Amino acid sequence: MTIDHLDGALLELLAQEPRIGVLEASRRLGVARGTVQARLDRLQSNGVIRGFGPDVDPAAIGYPVTAFATLEIKQGQGNDVRAHLTTVPEVLELHTTTGHGDMLCRLVARSNADLQRVIDRVVGFDGIVRASTAIVMENPVPLRIIPLVKQASGD
C-alpha cells in the first residue's frame, strides 16, 4: 500500500484535529468533499487507519507509573503466558521478541509500590522464568506517527 501526498496531508490533519469532519477537512485541504470521503474510505479499508480510538492517558485515571518488563519464558509455555498476561489489565501491550528476553511488555501501576504488586501478578505464573523491569522516568517522544507518515508519503 502506498500513500500519496494527499493521504499524508489528510492523516496529518486528522492527527492535529481529530474531531474534524469530512467537509471541514476538504476545505482545509482544498479538494472536493467526495475526494476526502474516498481517501478516508480507502485508508480505512486498506488498514492504514485502524481506527480513531480515544487516546486515554493512564496517568489521568490513576496509573501514573509506566514500566517495561522483559520476560524469559520456559520453552513451550508461550501460549499460556500470553493468555495469562492478557488477563492482567495493567499489561497494556505485549510483544514476543528476539534477543535476550523472550517477551517485552508495557505495564502501568498506581505507584511504585503498586508496581510491585503488578509485577508479582505478571511473574507469578509458572511459565515465566525471570523478569527484568525498567521503570519509565520520562517520555521525551510520546508515541507518534506523523513523521513516518510524512516520510512514507514523500514528505
**Helices 22-29, 5-16: inter-axial angle, 10-degree rounding:** 120
Q: Phi and psi at residue 47, in whole multiples of 5°?
A: 80, 5
- Asked if 3 and 149 count as a contact pair (C-beta separation under 8 A), the reply is yes
For DNA, the binding residue among 5, 15, 16, 23 (CB under 7 A) is: 23
- Asked if 108 and 93 count as a contact pair (C-beta separation under 8 A), the reply is no
Binders of DNA among 28-67, rule CB under 7 A? 30-35, 37-39
Q: From CA 128, how far away is CA 72, in angstroms rounded?
A: 6
CB of 100 to a copy of itself, least distance (A): 7
Write b or e for each residue in 93-118: b if 16 or more Cβ atoms lie within 10 A of its Cβ, otherwise e: ebeeeeeebbbbbbbbbbeeebbeeb
Scan for cell 494527499, then name that residue: 6
**Nearer to DNA (CB atom), residue 32 or residue 83:** 32
**Nearer to DNA (CB atom), residue 25 or residue 105:** 25
Q: Residue 12: which of 154, 142, 145 has the closest Cα?
A: 145
Q: CB under 5 to 8 A by kind: which of DNA, a copy of itself, none does 31 bind?
A: DNA
Q: CB under 5 to 8 A by kind: which of a copy of itself, DNA, none does 77 bind?
A: none
Under the rule (CB under 8 A), what is the footprint of a copy of itself?
A: 1-3, 11, 14-15, 18-19, 46-63, 66, 68, 70, 82, 85-86, 89-101, 104-106, 108, 132-145, 147-152
User: Where does this chain touch DNA (CB under 7 A) — which range of 25-33, 43-51, 69-77, 87-95?
Assistant: 25-33
Q: From CA 107, how far away is CA 67, in angstroms rounded?
A: 5
CB of 22 to DNA, least distance (A): 4
**Nearer to DNA (CB atom), residue 33 or residue 106:** 33
- Positions touching DNA (CB under 7 A) are 6, 21-24, 30-35, 37-39
